[in-house]
């Protein structure tokens, strides 16, 4: 019978589920996110609810890193955020091979599940790298008296806000990048597709889920001026004789443009 483990949908929760499965002896296993139904049919066991505990996740990470390598764990982490169908089962098999083969795992690139896990990890890494150049922050005024996200909560205060809709879950990979490069302002990167946001308060960032807009962002007057200047600069710098829509679309695909100010995104 297939053992079922239900976790909270986070990487930390998944690592706890992997640890629980290993403690139970391994074997056939199924990992379910909240609301998901088992695909094992009559052969499915009653799902075991796995609590997310940071210490358990860290112990599993240390065990895998010691047995294989930090690079292999990084590959697992990137692949998990691909949100590909059946990725949990794929990673479970990846973990079993890694614990058995040790450091040889990284050289088994032509074998499954290593091949697919590495391909998914590369896709997520590539998407995260592209978005470090496609995130557009705009200045939004804090509501008077609102200090929920680390802002000053004073009239005239503001923070930087950006909307994105990546193909995969990349917030945990791009947030540290902007934390290093934009650490003198409060900011929020809002993943509209997944209703979650990375929020930074000039000290640290955190991931917040179930984030939705109740009304359009209230851009500051300075932001409106800067946005107009940036669009004007973008248009005037174009050389008509070198206009190449096909090349431009290759470099900046249409799916990115809905939130790029220079292309009139976000009702700019």
Tens digits of residue pLDDT in 107-132: 999 999 999 999 999 999 999 999 99
**Sheet harboring 48-49: ordered strands across?**
29-32, 3-6, 48-49
Longest dimension (CA), the chain: 67
**Among 112-126, 138-152, 188-202, which is the least confidently predicted range?**
138-152
Grade residue 156 by pLDDT with cuts at 50, 70 and 90: low
Q: Is residue 186 a contact partner of residue 201, using CB atoms and an 8 Å limit?
A: yes
Task: Please state, in angstroms and rounded to a whole number, the distance separating the CA atoms of residues 115 and 65.
Answer: 19
Task: Please state, in angstroms and rounded to a whole number, the distance separating the CA atoms of residues 170 and 125.
Answer: 8
Residue 138 CA, chain-centre distance (Å), reads 21
Grade residue 155 by pLDDT with cuts at 50, 70 and 90: very low
Other residues' Cβ atoms within 10 Å of the Cβ of residue 146: 13
Task: With a cut of 80, say whether residue 55 has pLDDT above it.
Answer: yes
Mean pLDDT over the full length of the chain: 89
For the chain, the domains span 3-123, 135-267
Task: With a cut of 60, say whether residue 148 has pLDDT above it.
Answer: no
Nearest partner of 64 among 26, 101, 117, 11, judged by Cα: 101
Mean pLDDT across the stretch 160-168? Answer: 96
Task: Please state, in angstroms and rounded to a whole number, the distance separating the CA atoms of residues 3 and 46.
Answer: 8
What pLDDT, on a 0 to 100 scale, did the predictor assign at position 35? 81
Task: With a cut of 80, say whether residue 152 has pLDDT above it.
Answer: no
pTM score > 0.85 for this model? yes
pLDDT above 70 covers a percentage of the chain that reads 91
Residue 134 CA, chain-centre distance (Å), reads 15
What pLDDT, on a 0 to 100 scale, did the predictor assign at position 150? 45
Q: Which residue has the higher pLDDT, 99 or 252?
A: 99
Q: Which residue has the higher pLDDT, 248 or 168?
A: 168
| Region of residue 188 (phi > 0: left; psi between -120 and 50: alpha; otherwise: beta) | beta
Grade residue 266 by pLDDT with cuts at 50, 70 and 90: low
9-45 residue pLDDT tens: 999 999 999 999 999 887 889 999 988 777 655 555 6
What pLDDT, on a 0 to 100 scale, did the predictor assign at position 78? 98
Task: With a cut of 90, say whether residue 236 has pLDDT above it.
Answer: no
What pLDDT, on a 0 to 100 scale, did the predictor assign at position 263? 85
What pLDDT, on a 0 to 100 scale, did the predictor assign at position 68? 97
């Amino acid at each position: 019978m297939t053992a079922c483990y239900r976790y909270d949908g986070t990487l930390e929760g998944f690592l706890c589920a992997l640890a629980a499965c290993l403690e139970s002896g391994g074997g056939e296993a199924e990992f379910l996110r909240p609301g998901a139904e088992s695909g094992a049919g009559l052969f499915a066991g009653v799902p075991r609810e796995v609590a997310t505990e940071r210490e358990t996740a860290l112990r599993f990470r240390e065990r895998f890193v010691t047995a294989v390598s930090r690079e292999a764990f990084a590959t697992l982490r990137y692949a998990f955020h691909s949100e590909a169908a059946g990725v949990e089962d794929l990673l479970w098999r990846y973990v079993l091979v890694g614990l058995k083969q040790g450091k040889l795992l990284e050289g088994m690139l032509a074998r499954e599940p290593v091949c697919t896990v590495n391909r998914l990890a590369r896709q997520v890494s590539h998407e995260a790298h592209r978005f470090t150049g496609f995130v557009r922050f705009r200045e939004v005024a804090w509501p008077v008296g609102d200090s929920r996200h680390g802002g000053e909560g004073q009239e005239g205060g503001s923070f930087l806000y950006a909307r994105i809709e990546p193909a995969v879950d990349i917030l945990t990979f791009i947030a540290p990048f902007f934390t290093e490069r934009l650490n003198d302002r409060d900011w929020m990167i809002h993943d509209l597709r997944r209703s979650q946001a990375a929020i930074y308060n000039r000290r640290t960032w955190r991931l917040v889920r179930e984030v939705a807009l109740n009304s359009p962002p209230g851009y500051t007057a300075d932001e409106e001026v800067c946005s107009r200047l940036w669009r004007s600069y973008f248009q005037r710098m174009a050389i008509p004789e070198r206009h190449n829509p096909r090349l431009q679309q290759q470099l900046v695909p249409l799916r990115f443009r809905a939130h790029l100010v220079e292309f009139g995104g976000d009702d700019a």
